[in-house]
Amino acid sequence: MHRIACAVVAAEMRRLRGGDLPMPPPWASTTAIADEGLGLDSLERLAALGALAEAFELDDAMLGLEPPGTVGAWTDWIMHHHGAGEGRITVRSSGSTGEPVLCSHAVADLAEEARFMASQLPGRRRVVALVPAHHMYGLIWTALLPDVLGVPVVSPTIGTALDLTPGDLVVGVPDQWQALSRLTRRFPADIIGISSAGPLDAALAAELEASGLTHLLDVYGSSETGGIAFRLHPATFYDLLPRWRLLPQGDGEWGLVDAHGGRYPLPDHIERVGERRLRLIGRRDGAVQVGGQNVWPERVAAMLRGLDGIADAAVRLNGNGRLKAFIVPADGHDVASLSPLVDRAISERLSVAERPRLLRFGTILPRNAMGKLEDWS
In this structure, is residue 351 part of a structural domain? yes
In this structure, is residue 88 part of a structural domain? no
In this structure, is residue 97 part of a structural domain? no
Domain boundary pick from 26, 49, 83? 83
Report the alpha-carbon distance of residue 367 to residue 272 in Å, rounded.
Answer: 34
Cβ atoms of 12 and 43 within 8 Å: the answer is: no
Cβ atoms of 154 and 161 within 8 Å: the answer is: no
> What is the SS3 assignment for 108?
helix
Those residues with Cβ within 8 angstroms of residue 179's Cβ, 6 or more apart along the chain or in another chain: none
In this structure, is residue 219 part of a structural domain? yes
Residues 148 and 256 in one domain: yes
Q: What sign does the dihedral 125-75-140-178 (CA atoms) show?
A: negative
pLDDT of residue 297: 87
The residue count for the chain:
377
Q: Classify residue 77 as exposed, middle or buried by CB count within 10 Å of its CB (0-12, 13-18, 19+).
A: buried
Residues 167 and 54 in one domain: no
Cβ atoms of 190 and 213 within 8 Å: the answer is: no
Question: DSSP letter string over 185-235?
Answer: S-PPSS-EEEE-SSPPPHHHHHHHHHTT-SEEEEEEEETTTEEEEEEETT-
Residues 184 and 304 in one domain: no
Report the alpha-carbon distance of residue 237 to residue 195 in Å, rounded.
Answer: 15
Q: List the CATH number of the domain containing 27.
A: 1.10.1200
Q: Classify residue 173 as exposed, middle or buried by CB count within 10 Å of its CB (0-12, 13-18, 19+).
A: buried
Which helix (H) or strand (E) element contains residue 353? Answer: none
Residues 71 and 196 in one domain: no
In this structure, is residue 368 part of a structural domain? no
Residues 226 and 148 in one domain: yes
Q: List the CATH number of the domain containing 139.
A: 3.40.50.12780
Q: List the CATH number of the domain containing 344.
A: 3.30.300.30
Residues 175 and 49 in one domain: no
Report the alpha-carbon distance of residue 275 to residue 19 in Å, rounded.
Answer: 47
Report the alpha-carbon distance of residue 115 to residue 110 in Å, rounded.
Answer: 9
Residues 165 and 39 in one domain: no
Residues 266 and 158 in one domain: yes
> What is the SS3 assignment for 337?
helix
In the DSSP assignment, the letter for residue 70 is B
Question: DSSP letter string over 233-293?
Answer: TT-SSEEEPTTEEEEEEETTEEEEEETTS-EEE-SEEEEE-SSSEEEEEEESS--EEETTE
Domain boundary pick from 285, 314, 344? 285
In this structure, is residue 130 part of a structural domain? yes
Residues 169 and 313 in one domain: no
Residues 256 and 303 in one domain: no
Amino acid code (one letter) for 39: G
Those residues with Cβ within 8 angstroms of residue 28's Cβ, 6 or more apart along the chain or in another chain: 71
Residues 242 and 310 in one domain: no
Residues 42 and 170 in one domain: no
In this structure, is residue 205 part of a structural domain? yes
Based on the structure, what is the number of domains in the chain?
3
The Cα angle at residue 193 between residues 188 and 194, in degrees rounded to 5: 170
This prediction has a pTM of 0.76
Q: Which domain range does residue 150 map to? A: 102-285
Report the alpha-carbon distance of residue 304 to residue 31 in Å, rounded.
Answer: 43
In this structure, is residue 91 part of a structural domain? no
Cβ atoms of 51 and 7 within 8 Å: the answer is: no
Please report, in tens digits, the pLDDT of each residue of the chain (377 residues total).
999 999 999 999 988 988 888 888 999 999 999 988 999 999 999 999 999 999 999 888 778 788 899 999 999 999 988 877 678 999 987 554 456 689 999 999 999 999 999 999 999 999 999 999 999 999 999 999 999 999 999 998 877 888 999 999 999 988 889 889 988 889 999 999 999 987 788 889 999 999 999 999 999 998 899 999 999 988 889 999 999 999 988 777 889 999 889 999 888 888 899 889 999 887 666 778 787 677 888 889 989 998 999 999 999 888 788 999 999 999 889 899 899 999 999 998 888 889 999 999 998 888 765 456 788 88
